[in-house]
Amino acid sequence: MTATMRRALVTGGSGGLGAAICERLARSGHHVYVHAHRGREQAQALVQQLTADGLQAQALYFDVTDAHATHAAIEQMLAEGAIQILVNNAGIHDDAIFPGMSALQWQRVIDVSLQGFFHVTQPLLLPMLRTRWGRIVSLSSVAAQLGNRGQVNYAAAKGALISATRALALEVASRGVTVNAVAPGIIATRMSESAFGEAVIARLVPMQRAGTAAEVASLIDFLVAEHAAYITGQVLSINGGMT
């Protein structure tokens, strides 16, 4: 392993935003594990594309809400060495106005974003700390900062990630590990196309456009680089001026 090449895990790597993050990190010279649960075909296609370009990537499949399956997959990864870059990107929407929200809708969103954060991050942390170098970035959301109708569950989950980020950053700061959160606004992905039309974007976003997955990936690529070593415990918004 060279000074610039690290082993990186991106959860939810098969989605539009996750795929952009995986590609950007791979092109920066890292060995990227593209995680997927339901999007296995997309993850494998991305890995094939990256390896065809001479980059280092492999697919990894598990459900972040399943503690045992996650632990088994992580043990397999750690057998080959510590993961020094972790991007907690896995997350889902299950929107409903709060009086009509079911317990299942609440729990599913919390489980993927917040329980998934614990199931993945906690077992990776000690091996990372032993190397005295690490970068943990978790994807929050502008919904955690401003709120959003119909997304009390999503805002709660993503807001909890911000709090966890700030607390964990304090615990590991002296060991060369940084912990930050990135809070995107409206990003042009398949997930957002049906939710935000042009008129809505023009009203909500001062820049009057959606952001791109590549722009978010660039920010994450900066945060996991050597020169971002003094940035920790921060929430970086990328939202076209919404906050």
Residue from 33, 61, 154, 230 carrying the catalytic annotation: 154
Report in angstroms the alpha-carbon separations of 58 from 33, 67, 78, 137, 156: 5, 22, 14, 20, 32
CA–chain centroid gap for 57, Å, is: 17
**What letters, b where the CB count within 10 A reaches 16 and e where it falls short, cover 97-126?**
eeeebeeebbebbbbbbbbbbebbbebbbe
Residue 154 a catalytic site member = yes
Query: Residue 39 in contact with residue 22, Cβ under 8 Å?
Result: no
Catalytic residues: 154
